[in-house]
Chain A
Amino acid sequence: MRRPLQLRAPQAIFFCCCLPVIYCMISARGPEGRAAGEKKPAVEPAKHEAYTEKIAKTEVAFDMAPIPGGTFDMGSPKDEKNRGEHEGPQHPVKIAPFWMGKYEVTWDEFDVFRAEEGVKKPEDNDKKLKADADAVTGPTPTYVDAHYNFGGGKQPCIAITHHAAMEYCYWLSKRTGRTYRLPTEAEWEWACRAGTKTAYFFGDDPKDLGEYAWFSGNSDEEPRKVGLKKPNPWGLYDILGNVSEWCLDHYQKDGYTKFALDKPFLEPVVLPTADRQPDVVRGGSWVDEAKNCRCATRFASEKSWYKQDPQRPQSIWWLTDADFVGFRVVRPVEEQENLKGLRSKVTLESK
């Protein structure tokens, strides 16, 4: 079962009417009713600053970059080269300010989670939840090399499920006292585009992609340590390429057709379900060609990503056949209402 798209139209209206700054910004976008795709993204000045989050009692820290709020056209225009049908129609979306990890989550970071919350057997997580419904659950052991021969440390964490990425964020939030979660698909695209509206944040021609991204054309078939290439204009490294990044959203092929085209939706998200797939990954990866590392490229997770897991039920933590998938975290300046307290609903019984 897929849940309906979670729209926040009433809040959006309230927000637009009551905040003069926002009102000006919306007005500045020109006459109402103009079709999406023609407007320039409107970026509000960010009032929040970059910071480094240290995970207490460990040597591990990670950097968070401020991402301003604003309005943009999500998806790709009809005439974009190599575009997928599910990238449209372009529709205006309004995003509230947040912070985003400058880098993809590394094994150094994920390994703290595993060390503190990892369990010996799946049923150990049931015991944790029985004792305390709000307990953090943790990854089970892997039967293979979790690093898939690519190494750990500052390498991006790979082959983790959407559930694992969400539970990591839940743990990290409890551990730091600040709300961390996966980016919504809209937040991800807004942050990736960084005020631009071209196929890549550096233009429409992929010839420069190698300066910013590890993709099939330069990866030599390996993901690389995070942060080796140039960042995007908002200081995000590897936002295209290296590893595809989980978004919070459940994937809907026709999801973009459900939006109005003449007024921006505030903070759209398709909430994740109790199903193991399909969820959204973005940005393309070290296995993808340049055409699939565009700002608007969407992928959906699928059953084949677990193919070589010989157990039933299959793991809800590890993807045996998706060594190209990782994630990065965001922290909202003010959490949107429908994401407060959100936790993964996936269990071993999930389809």
Chain B
Amino acid sequence: MTNSQPTRRDFIKTSTVAAGAALAANLLPSNLYAAGDDEIKVGLIGCGGRGTGAIDNVLHSARNVRIVALADAFQDRADGCERRANELGQQKEVADLGNKVDVKGRVFAGLNAYEDLLKTDCNYVMLATPPGFRPIHLAAAVAAGKNVFTEKPVAVDGPGIRSVLDTYEKANEKKLAIVAGTQRRHQLGYLETIKQLHDGAIGDIVAGRCYWNMEVLWCKPREKQWGDLEYQMRNWYNFTWICGDHIVEQHVHNLDVINWVIGKTPISATGMGGRQRSVPNPQDYGNIFDHFAVDYEYPGGVHVLSECRQISGCWNSVSEAVTGTKGMCQVNDYRINGKRILSRDQDQRAVDPYIQEHTDLIASIRAGKPLNELKTVAESTMTAILGRMSTYTGGYEGKPLTWDRAINSKEELMPKDLGWKMTLAEPPVAVPGKTKFI
């Protein structure tokens, strides 16, 4: 037998339990050619690398999609995104689907640019700003009657979560569709694995653990011409009020998988963590922590260990695992009691989940059966916020911080009356045992 270009992944034959034809059907985006041809007119709020990525994804996700407007707090970001979006619109696959980019005259910049964008005739808004702004943008988008693709996480504090849950109800009333960028929920391997867990493959879940331990992430050192707000927004990852800290911004993915598997949210959490910041310029890293270890208690005495760390040179892992009464599952490996549910080869050939999430959202809109994932992602975000709060404070009155208390927190992290000329001191770093729960 001869081959031309050998297939990349050969494990399919050696180490896979038969996954069957049901999986094969998923190797193209399902519903790519769904009925209903309403034009999807996309407006993007948040023109960074992820927002630009979402433009590329949505352009590949369905037919009859047009990017119509862009908004960002910064003119340079909006302009850069316009240039790249126009390039992305030139791709052959995009033209083949009848999709295009047509944003001329509808590129908005400034702190209120999102309001200008929502006044256009777009019917599909993608929210990809830093997460601190998400509750405001979600509420405004739903008030304006738009369907929404929202990046994760969807808030950074208790008031934000309560606002988002309110928006969830309003979206349901208006029959608006919302899908979140927790893309594992649209990833073939996770879907198949967790379906089997829900069907009892390892019995009842009794424990879990999840990690996002990686190296130090980016920062943007201050430049002279920037005011206080511009600096903190451009260096947003490193400020809790905009980012939520990395347990919220990043580890939410793994906590979302745990909540999905267990089917519940935690009752309480107790965490420890801090900020070693053994990097050349620690002052460039704002006020976030660089490590958290949190023990979550779920109903029924089920405990989940969560770790997230951004320190270079350490053991790293981005993963989720659960133990049940009849075995264990390494969820991110799609492996149940040692056997893979999906081979590496099938995983490699599966649809990009970053595209599938738009395919699913658009299909639900065109079918008149709007998906609304906002509550689920709000709960996963709240799970991460609970972990951060329990770590920052060290607990409440000498006990683990409860979900009920945390979700009713009165602490609003976003400063009042944002303006480019405002004086905005860098917020302090939390000190466990001294920082108070508010």
Contacts and interface: CB of A to CB of B under 8 A. Distances in A.
A147 interface: yes
Nearest to A288: B10
Interface stretch (B138-146, B211-219, B298-306): B211-219
B5 A86 contact: yes
B14 interface: yes
A147 B6 contact: no
A310 B50 contact: yes
A85 interface: yes
A308 B215 contact: no
A262 B33 CA distance: 53
A338 B8 CA distance: 32
Given A86-B5, A140-B218, A312-B55, A321 B14 contact: no
Interface stretch (B104-112, B154-162, B166-174, B315-323): B315-323
B3 A84 contact: yes
A145 B52 CA distance: 23
A143 B215 CA distance: 8
A86 to B, nearest CB: 6
B84 interface: yes
A308 B49 CA distance: 13
B218 to A, nearest CB: 5
Contacts of B11: 216, 221, 287
Interface residues of A, number: 41
Contact of A312 (B15, B56, B220, B221): B56
Interface residues of B, number: 46
A233 interface: no
Contact of B15 (A221, A304, A308): A221
A149 B55 contact: no
Contact of A120 (B219, B315, B317, B318): B219
A292 interface: yes
B221 A297 contact: no
Interface in B1-54: 1-6, 8-11, 13-15, 49-50, 52-54
B88 interface: yes
A144 B217 CA distance: 9
A297 B6 contact: yes
A83 interface: yes
A84 B55 contact: no
A4 interface: no
A312 B10 contact: no
B239 to A, nearest CB: 15
Most A CB contacts (10 A, CB to CB) among B1, B10, B344, B354 go to: B10
B2 A141 contact: no
A147 B1 contact: no
B348 interface: yes
A299 B6 contact: yes
B352 A311 contact: no
B189 to A, nearest CB: 12
Interface string A78-119: 000011111000000000000000000000000100000000
A304 B348 contact: yes
In the A-B complex, the 6 residue pairs with the closest CB atoms? A311-B49, A145-B316, A312-B52, A289-B10, A312-B53, A292-B6
